Amino acid sequence: MFSKILIANRGEIALRIIRSCRELGIKTVAVYSEADRHSLHTMLADESICIGPDRAADSYLNIPNILSAAEITGAEAIHPGYGFLAENAKFAEICQNSGFVFIGPPPEIIRLMGDKNKARQAMKKAGLPVIPGSNIIIEDINEAKKIASKIGYPVIIKAAAGGGGKGMRICRNAIHLEEQFPMAQNEAKSAFGDQSLYLEKYISGARHIEIQIIGDYKGTVIAFGERECSIQRKYQKIIEETPSPFIDQKTRNKMMKATQTAAQEIGYKSLGTFEFLVDNKKKFYFMEANTRVQVEHPITEMVYGINLVKTQIRVAAGEKANFPIGLQMRGQAIECRINAEDPETFIPSPGKIDFLVFPGGEGIRVDSAAYAGWEIPPYYDSLIAKVIAYAPTRELAIVKMRTALETTTIVGIKTNIPLLLNILSSTEFIKGDYNIQFLENFLSRKEELPSE
């Protein structure tokens, strides 16, 4: 096992890793930008070191500075968390070549799954059903029109080199495709430094369902039950739950088995998530794989009673991916992401938190790096906290989550708590009758938001 790990990240995920390391008896090194000098992860780690100015490009994305910090502090391994360099194959490769263990998949796996088009082909070869679409990178609009005509509208443009909604456009006809194609290219190039695009058939009314996996270096791959991630705005998830109110046991077993087989086929190591679209007939299609720990991993931990981050670290140290208890889903878990943003306009709301009270009680978990007096910087993600509610039934989990959000007090900035409460109170959510178009339709109805 490692004696010291450097955490190349910030915020709640950095704290999550620090806590797991403490349970394993591992010392931690926190890196931080000037803007994060007074952040909680710098206070709770065994050591902390500044790696650059406020902008992420000069700090959390500065590979030489991160490696220098690891060398100076004597760290043996580097955990990238999520975001920033977590899915950067070059970074993983440089870590390995510099003598540090990268706590994540091998560079070749990150590179394969990071190229969305190549990932589709690899998964198709491994037996996973994929959404009909282009089998090649599309270079120009005429080529895009030919492929769109062949697979049929509506189609969705996707960036081959990234995710998170960047470079994605839904096109319902040829005129719309011609308008959106160059815009998608520009956005992809700006976000990922690569304007490569591909097309997929757009499945209207589908669910966004994901399967968590972990693979070790002994050849074992474990697949877990699904997470329902359909409630999202501009492809960014805001509420997740497990199990899905839509997926039955037969479909669950098929998805888990197919994902496990495909992951074994490509030799997957470490934590990962395979994401699918599931149509109203419960037919599932592979979309992409995220080669890192997911923001929403706590809900899987809650229903299985496990610690995925600790297991990820153990696997990186060469141990087998096993758990002391039988892997069986029990109860229901829901996660809400509290963001620093206006709940109506979604404009980010950085600033000082003057007063803060998080919820507690049976079945409530809060993952956060926020505290009263903390200044939320404008340079990074707007996530303040993840509130997770766990209960024996979905109905009770919803009640617990609503109570938790209603008793959360954050003064000094705006948050999306009113929106989250409104969604949790909607008929569609309570019945579990929603899909990836839910939030768009929900917001278009302009329902009155409850006051904070």
Assign 2 to helix, strand or coil: coil
| 452 vs 448: CA distance, rounded Å | 12
The two tokens of residue 115 are: 């190229």
**How do 383-391 and 332-339 pair as beta strands?**
antiparallel
Query: What are the percentages of helix, strand and coil residues in the chain, rounded to 5?
Result: 35, 25, 40
Residue type, 1: M
**How do 169-171 and 197-201 pair as beta strands?**
unpaired
**Residue 41: φ, ψ to 5°:** -65, -25
pLDDT for the residue numbered 250: 97
DSSP per-residue codes, 43-95 = HHSSEEEEEE-SSGGGTTT-HHHHHHHHHHHT-SEEE--SSTTTT-HHHHHHH
Assign 273 to helix, strand or coil: strand
Residue 292 falls in the annotated catalytic set:
yes
- pLDDT tens digits, 341-363: 999 899 999 999 999 999 999 99
Domains annotated on the chain, with CATH: 4-103 (3.40.50.20), 132-201 (3.30.1490.20), 207-444 (3.30.470.20)
Q: Give me the count of residues in the chain.
A: 452
pLDDT for the residue numbered 164: 64
pLDDT for the residue numbered 70: 98
| 195 vs 176: CA distance, rounded Å | 19
pLDDT for the residue numbered 452: 47
pLDDT for the residue numbered 163: 67
pLDDT for the residue numbered 330: 97
Report the candidate in 338, 308, 335 with the shortest Cα–Cα distance to residue 323. 308
| 54 vs 62: CA distance, rounded Å | 12
Residues of the chain with confidence (pLDDT) below 50: 449, 451-452
Q: Which of 111, 120, 252, 292 is catalytic?
A: 292
